[in-house]
Amino acid sequence: MSKILISGGSGLIGRHISKLLIESNHNVAWLSREGGSWNGIKKHIWNPNNGIIDESAFEGVDHIIHLAGSGIVDKRWTASYKKEIIDSRVKSCELIYKVLEKKSINLKSFIGCSAIGFYGAKQSDNLVYETNLPGENFYSESCVLWEKSYESIKNLGIRTVIIRTGIVLSKESGAYPKMALPFKLGIGAAIGSGKQNFPWIHIDDIARLFVYTLFNEQLDGIYNAVASEIINNKDFSKLLAKSLNRPFFIPALPSTILKFVMGEGACVVTEGLKISNEKIKKEGFIFKFEKTKDALSDIAF
C-alpha cells in the first residue's frame, strides 16, 4: 500500500483517480482549499497564492499527482484571468517543491498534469507527437510554463511524468455536458468549419492512465493522453447527436460568434490538432475506449 497525495483531487479527474487508488487499497490524501474529507479522503488545507500549505500532508507520502489549476475555458481570457491560469499552475508546483526540498522527501514518483494545448491551435494535417515544439498562442504559453515548473521536481532526482491531456469526456462534468445539452435540445451543431480535430479521452481511460504511469517505474517524461481515433469536430458532432437520438441538421456555428462570446479562448474549440498516443501505447497502456461512438454511447445521458 502506498500513500498518494493529490493536488486538485476534488476535480473530475482527481475524483476518478482517487476511486481507483482506494479500490486498490492505497492511502489517498488531497491538497485542497477546503478542509474536511471526501469519501474518507482527508483534505489538507493549502492556498498557493498565499503560500499556505499543511505540511503534515507530506508525512509518509510515496507519490504525488499534481492536477491543480484554474480551468482554461472557465472564464474569458482577460489579462487577470490569464495570470490566474498561469499562477494556479506554477505557484502551486513551486509550493509543493519547497516542502519536498525542506523535508528531503524521497518521492517514488511525481505525476504532473499538462494539456495538448501545449502544441498550440494552428490547424495542421500532420500528426503531433510529444517531441513537437510548442505553439504560439496563450494556451500553449501557459502549458509551457506549467511544464517548466516541474523541472525543479525532476532536479530533486524524482521520477517525473508529464501527461498532456486531451478533452476529457464524462457525463459528470467538464466539456461533455456543455456540448451535449444543445444536442439534447435538438439544436446542436458543428463549430466553425467543423474540420478542426477533436482530440478526446474518456474519463475512465485518463484516470487509468495516471495510475498506470504512477506505478510503472520505467515510465518517465512526457506522454499524450488522447484516444486513438482521430476525428474532426463535424464528425464528432454527428456521432454525439446519434448517441442522444437527436437529428443533426443545423448549420455549423460560425467561429466569429464564438470569438465574440469567448474572446481569445475560442481557439480551444475552433481549432484542433491530430494528436498521437503511440508513445504511451508502446509502453503497454491499453485504452478501454478507442472509438468515439463507444465513448459517447457509454456516457450518453
Q: Please give the chain's pLDDT, 301 residues, in tens.
A: 899 999 999 999 999 999 999 999 999 999 998 888 888 899 999 999 889 999 999 999 999 999 998 887 778 888 999 999 999 999 999 999 999 999 999 899 999 999 999 998 777 778 999 999 999 888 899 999 999 999 999 999 999 999 999 999 999 988 888 888 888 888 888 888 888 999 999 999 999 999 999 999 999 999 999 999 999 999 999 999 999 999 888 878 777 776 766 676 667 777 889 999 999 999 999 999 999 999 999 998 7
132: closest CA among 276, 282, 284?
Answer: 276
Can you say whether the dihedral through the CA atoms of 34, 38, 44, 49 is positive or negative? Answer: negative
Per-residue model confidence as pLDDT tens digits over 219-245:
999 999 999 999 999 999 999 999 999
Per-residue model confidence as pLDDT tens digits over 98-148:
999 999 998 999 999 999 999 987 777 789 999 999 998 888 999 999 999
Residue 4: all three cell numbers together: 498518494
d(CA 263, CA 81): 12
71: closest CA among 170, 149, 174, 148?
Answer: 174
In the chain, where the domains are located: 3-170+201-226
pTM over 0.95? The answer is no
d(CA 241, CA 224): 27
Beta strands in the chain (DSSP E): 3-7, 27-32, 37-38, 41-47, 52-53, 63-66, 109-115, 127-128, 160-165, 167-169, 200-202, 221-225, 274-275
Pairing type for strands 41-47 and 37-38 reads antiparallel
Domain 3-170+201-226 belongs to what topology?
A: Rossmann fold (3.40.50)
